[in-house]
Every structure is written in C-alpha cells, then in structure tokens.
Amino acid sequence: MISYLATKRLQSVMKNKGYPFYTKGNFNLNIIGIRSDVRKANAFDDHILCVYKENGNWIFRDYKATTDCGNHWLKNPMRQSGSALLVPDHYKSCYKLDLHRGKYTALCQRKKVKVYRDNSKDLILDFDPDTIEEGLFGINIHRSNPSVSSKQVDKWSAGCQVFADPDQYKNFIRLCEKSASIYGNSFSYTLLTYKDLKK
C-alpha cells in the first residue's frame, strides 16, 4: 500500500471515530494497532503502524505484531476474571518509555486502559463487552524474542501489544526515543480493527 494513500485512509478513519491524528512537526508519532478479524488465538496476525512526518514528508511504518494474548495465558489466566484483551479505543498519553518487566526499553502503560476479560480457557478470543474492566494492567507495547522473529504468540503476550520481529521493534523504539527528545516521554496509542478500515 502506498504510504500517502494509507495515511489518508487512516486519517479519515481516525477523524470519523473522533480520535486525534497528529500532523504537525517531525516525529510526532501516530501509533496505531490494527487487530485482525481472526478470532483464533496465537498468531502474529495483527499490525502496529507508526505514521509520522519527517522533513515534511509522511512516513508509514507497518510492523508485524499481535494485539491479543497468546494460548498459554488464555488457558492459564493471570487473573481470576480472565485473560486481558485490549479494547479498541484511543488511549491518550497512556504510555511512556520505560523498562518492560525491568529488562529492556518498551512503551509501558502509565494511565488506565480498558480490557475485555476472556475466561473461557479455550483458544478462541472472546470480546464480550459485558466483561470490560478499566485500570492499570501492565498492557505494555514490547517485543517477543530478542534474537529472531517469533511465529507464535504463546507466552509472549498476556494482553500486551507485542512485536514479532526484533529488528522491526528496534526501529520502532528508535523512533519513540527520537519523538520523546522533541515532545517529551508521553505516547498515545490507538487500537483499531480491520472492520474499522473497511467501513
């Protein structure tokens, strides 16, 4: 997809939902997750996009990721209420660069987000609006394997937004660090679905 056309489409979707889309300044990042329509868990079948301007030109980065928890945590929820699945929404200034589990640089949750709770303990993702909770759940944006691209989610996500490829992740973090040096260490994140893009 041509970056300019993809950017214009995203701007339209975000505007229709009442979400901000940052157009002023270099490296003013629009970080947008796109959740696939597939409800079977454990695949890196989603995307995290990073859309921004550099020297006045739009740049469109598309990273392979998951926005869902993996099979391990669906079968073995960390909470009695069930595994966490981030609710599609715009989360303004909810993230900052920090250490994921004290180990490496990631975008870490610092304000409340909303999650569905999936407690069926099967491998089908349940997005039941009656289960939504809001709070600080450690829904970070981080990578999976540090050395090679991961094929399955497994234990890599218990609800976090997780990159499959370590090199793509390094590129993303460099952009976040550049942005933070200009605008401060605060990042918004928007989660959309494939259906949102088709409307």
For residue 33, how many other CB atoms are within 10 A of its CB?
21
User: Are β-strands 141-143 and 161-163 bridged in parallel, bridged antiparallel, or unpaired?
Assistant: parallel
Q: Do 34 and 49 meet the contact criterion of CB atoms below 8 Å apart?
A: yes
Q: For the residues of 4-27, what is the DSSP string, one character each? A: HHHHHHHHHHHHHHT-----SSBT
What is the reported pTM?
0.96
Q: Do 74 and 198 meet the contact criterion of CB atoms below 8 Å apart?
A: no
For residues 76-90, give the mean pLDDT: 96
The two three-digit tokens of residue 149, written as one number: 């691209």
pLDDT band, residue 1 (cuts 50/70/90)? very low
